[in-house]
Amino acid sequence: MTVTRRLAVVSGGLSQPSSTRMLADRLAKTTVAELSRRGVEVDLTVVELRDHARDLTSMMLTGFASPALEAVIESVTGADGVIAVTPVFSASYSGLFKSFFDVIDPAALEGMPVLAAVTAGTPRHSLVIDHALRPLFAYLRAEVVPTGVFAATDDWGSDAGDELAVRIERAARQLADRVEATERSGLNGDPWGFGSVASGFEGFSPG
Amino acid sequence: MSGMQFGIFSVGDITTDPTTGRTPTDASRLQDILTIARHAEEVGLDVFAMGEHHNPPFFPSSPVAINSWVAAKTERLILSTATTLITTNDPVRLAEDYATLQHLSGGRMDLTLGRGNTGPVYPWFGEDIRQGIPLALEKYALLRRLWREDYVDWSGKFRTPLQGFQSTPRPLDGVQPFVWHGSIRSPEIAEQAAYYGDGFFANHIFWPASHTQKMVQFYRQRFEHHGHGTAEQAIVGLGGQVFMRKNSQDAVREFRPYFDNAPVYGHGPSLEDFTEQTPLTVGSPQEVIDRTLGFRDYVGDYQRQLWLMDHAGLPLKTVLEQLDILGGEVVPVLREEFAKNRPTTVPDAPTHDARLAAAAVAEAEERAEVAS
């Protein structure tokens, strides 16, 4: 029997085409290749947050997701692993990227294997993964793989690019280890978090 | 009044009218709400429900005081709340205040309990929002005992113990006020309503219908589980939100600026998206009739339908016109249509008289059982 795992890519770039999406695609491709080498089939979903910018704002205001955004949230929270990539804006993740993680249920990514990656114009932002993304995913109790991937503009057109390829390989391997081992997507629950609470009732007694 | 009850509820927001820039005062909104409540009776509605808030931009901190005034000025209208804060009020005060209203109104009252979702309000009343659910459970358990037992010995986590305490006045005719439990998303509250055989009121305004459906279905199942009757006999109320004009396009044009700037969802989704994704209906009276009749498809035959009418800065004149349309064109049709194919086993909406009669029957049965 073939094993199938669900992998979700969340890309927070704004321009089109964006280097954030380029990095996201490379990470996804390498991870999928690593998993298929191990005989694991991958059901891949790529989420371009830009396409849901309006719905994200609406959800922040109304508290509920549009049907399109709800499907996106389910594809991410119900995955076996997430590749999360954001550009650096004002020394941190982009507001759009943060908005997505603000509207999902805080418990929905518990134990989720996450590969955190960042793009920036200059290498001086390289600590953003460690001072912004890791704390965010620590709060969400996700499991971030040890290798974070940072790509500055230079990495796309110099000898440094070889090092980027090495980092991508290593990070993808670390994510693949965890995605292969988890059975998260088989346990996916109600997006409202309702079923789990409701089914927990053994009865009720006041006081 | 049998079968279903129809009415309005107000959260009591003070919002600038986006079309005129005029912001009402506490004083003007309070006077307006009294006019609106009386007009609800004039146009033939059954229920007026007042919200409770303790922070601006809301004015109604004391719905029981407002409802007492309205009770004195009306003859048929049932005065309810939307909602009475069970978390931050003292259950002893609630027992006393609402029993007093029950006498003043001749039984034309009930109340909807809610938790309140404004963090700072809790500490202002010595409580903690993180204890919201335990507060609601413990305080209601006490409130209910205060109405049903003449002398109460009690101790719990959230208030001073009571020894031999009697809350006064005792409930009218020995029948405790009917209680609805309101919640947007907490199954614990639906469970609480089901456990006691009380009513469950689903806000039904801000979230998609599929969510309301799940909450109501859960409440109905648990109502049956706790032995109060079949699932279809559970007592369900729904909120709703409409804006009507003779022509649908006129309704949309007039309501759009109020929607776009509304305190809760303004500056977010478009009016079109929000009407599609939630029960909000902006259009002709016929569209409102059709949409409302559709609620039954996903919650079953239910007992009470309330609409939010005065909000988002709508001027008094407009609100009164909306009530005219609601009472004149919409509710009469809904009464007739909802009555069709309604199983006889589905209970009517709760009233004091019906509950008094039911209590008398139950007592007679009990006596007969003791005698035999």
pLDDT 10s digits, B130-147? 999 999 999 999 999 999
A23 in any annotated domain: yes
Longest alpha-carbon distance in chain A:
68
Domain ranges of chain B: 5-371
Choose among B137, B215, B274: nearest Cβ to A206. B137
Distance CA(B284)–CA(B281), nearest Å, equals 9
Distance CA(B111)–CA(B256), nearest Å, equals 32
A34 in any annotated domain: yes
A151 in any annotated domain: yes
A114 in any annotated domain: yes
* Residue position matching structure tokens 């205040």: B97
pLDDT at A155 over 90: no
Higher pLDDT, B186 or A196: B186
Average model confidence (pLDDT) across chain A: 90
**Other beta carbons less than 10 A from residue A41's beta carbon:** 11
Choose among A57, A66, A201: nearest Cβ to B277. A66
pLDDT at A198 over 80: no
Radius of gyration of chain B (CA): 20
Residue A153's CATH number: 3.40.50.360
Distance CA(B303)–CA(B235), nearest Å, equals 6
Q: Span B292-319, mean pLDDT? A: 97
Question: For residue range B310-342, what is the model confidence (pLDDT) as tens digits?
Answer: 999 999 999 999 999 999 999 999 999 999 999
Which two structure tokens, joined as six digits, stand for A93? 């993740």
With beta carbons under 8 A apart, name residues in chain B contacting A61: 264-269
pLDDT computed for residue B185 by the predictor = 84
Check A61 against B266: CB less than 8 A apart.
yes
Distance CA(B323)–CA(A130), nearest Å, equals 58
Distance CA(A5)–CA(B71), nearest Å, equals 63
Q: How many domains does chain A have?
A: 1
The packing angle between helices B63-73 and B91-104, to 10°, is 10
A190 in any annotated domain: yes
pLDDT computed for residue A197 by the predictor = 41
Q: Which of A105, A201, A205 to mutate to test the interface with B (most CBs of B within 10 A)?
A: A201
pLDDT computed for residue A158 by the predictor = 78
A201 in any annotated domain: no
Q: Which of B148, B155, B179, B191 to mutate to test the interface with A (most CBs of A within 10 A)?
A: B191
pLDDT computed for residue A1 by the predictor = 66
Multiple choice CATH, B5-371, 3.20.20.30, 3.40.1280.10, 3.40.50.2000, 3.90.1150.10: 3.20.20.30
With beta carbons under 8 A apart, name residues in chain B contacting A198: 187, 218
Would you give the DSSP letter of residue B171? P
Residue type, B9: F
A171 in any annotated domain: yes
Residue in chain A nearest B136 by alpha carbon? A206
Check A197 against B267: CB less than 8 A apart.
no
Residue A205's pLDDT band, with cuts at 50, 70 and 90, is low
**ipTM of the modeled complex:** 0.78
Instruction: Please report the residues numbered 57 through 86 in chain A whose beta carbons come closer than 8 angstroms to any beta carbon of chain B.
Output: 57-58, 60-64, 66-67
Check A206 against B277: CB less than 8 A apart.
no
Q: What pTM did the predictor assign?
A: 0.89
A37 in any annotated domain: yes
Contact residues, chain B to chain A, C-beta under 8 Å: 137-138, 140-141, 156, 185, 187-188, 191-192, 194-195, 206-208, 211, 214-215, 218, 222, 226, 264-269, 273-274, 277-278
Question: For residue range A50-94, what is the model confidence (pLDDT) as tens digits?
Answer: 999 999 999 999 889 999 999 999 999 999 999 999 999 999 999
Q: Span B243-257, mean pLDDT? A: 98
The parent domain of residue A92 ranges over 3-196
Would you give the DSSP letter of residue B350? P
pLDDT at A196 over 50: no
Chain center to CA of B214: 19
Size of interface A-B (CB pairs under 8 A): 60
Distance CA(B81)–CA(B97), nearest Å, equals 13
